Amino acid sequence: MTDFSISEDLLQAENAARKMALDEDYAALTRALSRRGIDGDALTRSIMAFGVAIPTWGVGTGGTRFARFPGPGEPRHLFDKLEDCATIHHLVRATPTVSPHFPWDATSDYAALREVAAKHGLAFDAVNSNTFQDQPNQEHSYKFGSLSHVESAVRAQAIAHNIDCIAIGRRLGSKALTVWIADGSNFAGQSNMALALDRYLDSMREICAALPADWRVFLEHKLYEPAFYASVISDWGTSFAAAQELGPKAQCLVDLGHHAPNVNIEQIVARLVRFGKLGGFHFNDSKYGDDDLDTGSVEPFRLFLVFNELIDARMRGADGFAPAYMLDQSHNVTDPIESLMQSAIELQRAYAQALIVDRSALAEAQAANDALGAHLELKGAYTTDVSPILAMARLRAGGAIAPIETYRASGYRKHKAKERPPVARTSAGIV
Ligand code: LRH
Ligand code: MN
């Protein structure tokens, strides 16, 4: 019995039922946009070209330190995850790449993995290393850190793991390594914060030396958790300074949930662009801490403002501007496939809204210190409902006008629940 996948017939039938309404809404929106001098079809083509990577660790149900409640038809291994990633891309046509995490996604044959992904129309984005958990039979524990650990043997083990991840990534066709470390302390005095950073930099220099010529390494900063007094790479400033010191292949990755509440993330993005050190993003949303909630589900205006900086940078032709877009979320109470589809759409929405900002009117208002005028240029774009353009982009790219409804109509999850025997309930943790 072949594994169930959503048929073209079902997709066509679901689209046919919605096509007339979409055509009407699309015509009305493109007429309104053309009055603002914006070509609706060109905008739709831009959205069709937008892509974001799916985190393999986000395809299964996530959890917290308290508990994880797996749902039906959980992916058992990377091949199930790729199948679910293919289903997401089939319907939203905006997630052509997957970002794997090792050793969570370790497998015996990476060439075969690459082939299976290619059959699903998927490629691999940045690989993620993991020196924040101890693996069975691991020689040295990461309890007190990894790349910044006081013991050279532990650092060497962590460096070797990152170099292994690069080797795996090369076989998968990736071009970047993301390094997030949990290293830090819970008590004042527990760690010499200056020497910890020096040890981290020494370790990262060895990892950078192992990067192929056309690769990048993304340094991911995070204010706290699991360290609750000081994290070694706690903020964009430390990450930026480290990337400067490590050289041109080293850039900074902005995980939206890794900042103190109310930090101006869009300004951090503008700064990293200015210095040519914006490597990429882990998109998600948060209300308090690193909540890993669905992108655009808490602060959609902030997400728009981040994309406003990205479009401004692109329009200005900022040097070395090639940010990698990846999602990094934990789906504790929703079907991960639905959350990932909606999150990709919310990214497209912020991108489309940022593309319709009248940048010359905005620059004029800024030059005239017309504060409200300038703000309303942004608000005008942000309050434009671009949904018909997002739906038309999906339709023209062979996807679903209404992905969530089409996914539910397919009964995909029910089929997977039959195909995939239930996994044993793991007590807690994000995966
Ligand atoms: C750390 C982080 C990092 C991943 C992990 C799954 O909080 O954002 O990007 O390695 O989540
Ligand atoms: Mn992250």
DSSP one-letter string for 298-363? S-HHHHHHHHHHHHHHHHTT-TT--PEEEE----SSS-HHHHHHHHHHHHHHHHHHHHTS-HHHHH
What six digits make up the tokens of 187? Answer: 């008590």
Angle at the Cα of 402 from the Cα atoms of 431 and 419, rounded to 5 degrees: 45
Mutate to test the pocket of ligand 1, among 57, 64, 178, 220 (most ligand atoms within 8 A of CB): 220
Closest CA to 281 of 221, 346, 201: 221
Q: Which strand (E) or helix (H) includes residue 409?
A: helix 403-410
For residue 15, give the 3-state DSSP assignment.
helix
Instruction: Give which of 348, 270, 332, 261 is closest to 298, Cα–Cα.
Output: 261
Cβ atoms of residues 130 and 113 within 8 Å: no
Alpha carbon nearest to ligand 1 atom 10, residue: 180
Alpha carbons within 13 angstroms on the beta-carbon side of residue 299 total 21
Kindly state the DSSP code that residue 58 receives in the 8-state scheme. Answer: G
* Tens-digit pLDDT profile for residues 184-234: 999 999 999 999 999 999 999 999 999 999 999 999 999 999 999 999 999
Residue-level pLDDT at 204: 98
pLDDT band, residue 422 (cuts 50/70/90): confident
Is the pLDDT at 426 greater than 70? The verdict is no
Question: What's this model's pTM, rounded to 2 decimal places?
Answer: 0.97
For residue 98, pLDDT beyond 80: yes
Tens digit of each residue's pLDDT (9 = 90 or more) over 62-74: 999 999 999 999 9
Quick check: 270 pLDDT over 90? yes
- d(C-alpha 10, C-alpha 275), whole Å: 48
Helices (H), 36-95: 40-48, 78-92
Query: Contact 243/275 with Cβ under 8 angstroms?
Result: no
Mean pLDDT, to the nearest integer, of 272-286? 98
CB under 6 Å to ligand 1: residues?
Answer: 57, 128, 180, 220, 222, 255, 282, 290, 328
Q: What is the pLDDT of residue 424?
A: 64
Give the tens place of pLDDT for each residue, 109-139: 999 999 999 999 999 999 999 999 999 999 9
Res. 360 pLDDT band, cuts 50 70 90:
very high
User: 252 alpha carbon to ligand 2 midpoint, in Å?
Assistant: 12
Residue nearest to atom 3 of ligand 1 (CA): 180
Predicted confidence (pLDDT) at residue 425 exceeds the cutoff of 70:
no
8 Å CB contact between 317 and 289: no
* Rounded percentage of the chain residues whose pLDDT exceeds 90: 96
Please state whether 360 falls in left (phi above 0), alpha (psi between -120 and 50) or beta.
alpha
Q: Which tokens in the block code for residue 331?
A: 């789906």
Alpha helices in 132-251 (DSSP H): 152-172, 193-209, 236-246
Instruction: Calculate how far, in angstroms, residue 228's C-alpha sits from the geometric centre of ligand 1.
Output: 16
| pLDDT at position 1 | 55
pLDDT over threshold 70, residue 367: yes
Q: Whose CA is nearest to atom 2 of ligand 1?
A: 180
Please report the atom of ligand 1 found closest to the CA of residue 253: 9
Closest residue by Cα to residue 76 from 94, 89, 96, 59:
59
